[in-house]
Amino acid sequence: MIGDNDQPLVLIVDDDEAMRRSMAFLFSSIGLETNIFASAAELLQALPEPEHCRPGALVLDVRMPGMSGLELQRHLRDRDCPLPILIVTGHGDVPMAVEALKAGAFDFIEKPFKEQLLLDAVAAAIRLSRENLLRGARRRSVEERLARLGRRERDVLDGILAGKPNKVTAYELDLSIKTIEAYRASVMTKMEAGSLAELALMVSSVIDG
């Protein structure tokens, strides 16, 4: 099961059966669970939506039938996959490494590799994935709270974020100051914000990505 679990999972995509089983055995030797795939298509069919991904890492070969590892990397980036990607290949060169890293790869490792080097890289990737998943969960939580606001509450929120006094917002919306104060209190409650600073921080985290 790829999703809905907090235990780390390493996903290996390599068309060389011996290599993917060898890497799976290596990771299992330190207690890491793995799923192995012979192609990008197999992985994409099994990969859940970002919010349901487990912490872990993706280990991709480059040269594979169909979609290559670098093409898969770009596809996963566009899909907002929260799992760090390690490119592990026996056909690497400097331009390829630069392309992979520019596209957001966490690491680029050439075969044959030292086992400890790969293990250390995956461990670091798993730590990063936990941060990515936590950041994504917080973002979705804020988005859900924002969705609960009514139109006038959003107008008042915009005024708060712009630093406008209640009387200015009241004038602009043609409402009484008491009504603005009531909307303002409702915004703070629905957003579960303890202060204006906290409110601004959580909203900016969604706006700024």
Coil, helix or strand at residue 72: helix
Average pLDDT in the 70-99 region?
84
The reported pTM is: 0.77
Structure tokens at 109: 């490792």
Average pLDDT in the 40-51 region?
90
Given 3-state DSSP classes, what are the helix, strand and coil percentages for the chain, each rounded to the nearest 5? 55, 10, 30
Coil, helix or strand at residue 14: coil
- The predicted pLDDT at position 2 comes to 61
- The predicted pLDDT at position 4 comes to 58
CA distance 140 to 130: 15
Read off the pLDDT of residues 56-65 as tens digits, 9 standing for 90 and up.
Answer: 999 999 888 8
| C-beta separation of 126 from 56 below 8 A | yes
Structure tokens at 153: 């509450």
- The predicted pLDDT at position 1 comes to 45
Average pLDDT in the 1-8 region?
70
Q: Which domains does the chain have, with CATH numbers?
A: 9-138 (3.40.50.2300), 148-207 (1.10.10.10)
